[in-house]
Homo-oligomer: A and B are copies of this chain.
Amino acid sequence: MRLSTRAEYGIRILVALARAEGEGPQSLTAVSRSEKLPHAYIEQLVRDLRRASLVTATRGKTGGYQLARPAAEISLVEAVRALDGPLLEMPCAGADNLETCDRPQDCSVHEVFSRVHDSLEETLSATSLADVVATAGGPPYPMAVRRRRAAQHAHLTATTAAAASAEKPMPAAPAR
């Protein structure tokens, strides 16, 4: 299972724009340089972001892109949907829109996949660009991650997985 690089790059772009919030339009070349991403490719992606109204563009020599809304009000799930389509793309799984399962009556996995989809949606919509920017200032990541994992593992053995999930500090408000 993997998230497309489209979504990954897209998020990186948005985060870069979020960092420069209020500083006016950022040119794509600047972003591509700072994030080390291929300019020509990025261009496609940012187009989709604009069409999804996550970003606004201004043309001309001093032009560039900026977030269409405050970073705190843009959740990652919007970015992923804009670039990647449905969160969990499977014939038989509470997809984003409707169910297109070919075994309508007795599909064993339908329920589970819907659950997976929902959990993805939850985690992604619970994180805003502002959150990402905020955490990104912290300690080097492998460390932070490992510390988090350790703490969580302790909980997992003591209580249930669901309970542990609820205890994780999930910073911000969903955008919608």
Contacts and interface: CB of A to CB of B under 8 A. Distances in A.
Interface of A: 1-4, 7-8, 11-12, 15-16, 36, 76, 80, 84, 86-90, 92, 94, 99, 101, 103-116, 118-120, 122-127, 132-133, 135-136, 140-142, 144-145, 148-149, 152, 156, 160-166, 168, 170, 174
B123 A119 contact: yes
B162 A168 contact: yes
Contacts of A122: 119, 161-162, 164-165
* Interface residue SS majority, chain A: helix
B145 A99 contact: yes
Contacts of A132: 108-109, 111-112
Contacts of A15: 108-109
21 contacts: A1-B2, A1-B3, A1-B88, A8-B113, A11-B112, A99-B141, A99-B142, A99-B145, A108-B132, A108-B133, A111-B145, A112-B132, A116-B120, A118-B149, A119-B122, A119-B165, A122-B165, A126-B162, A156-B174, A160-B174, A165-B165
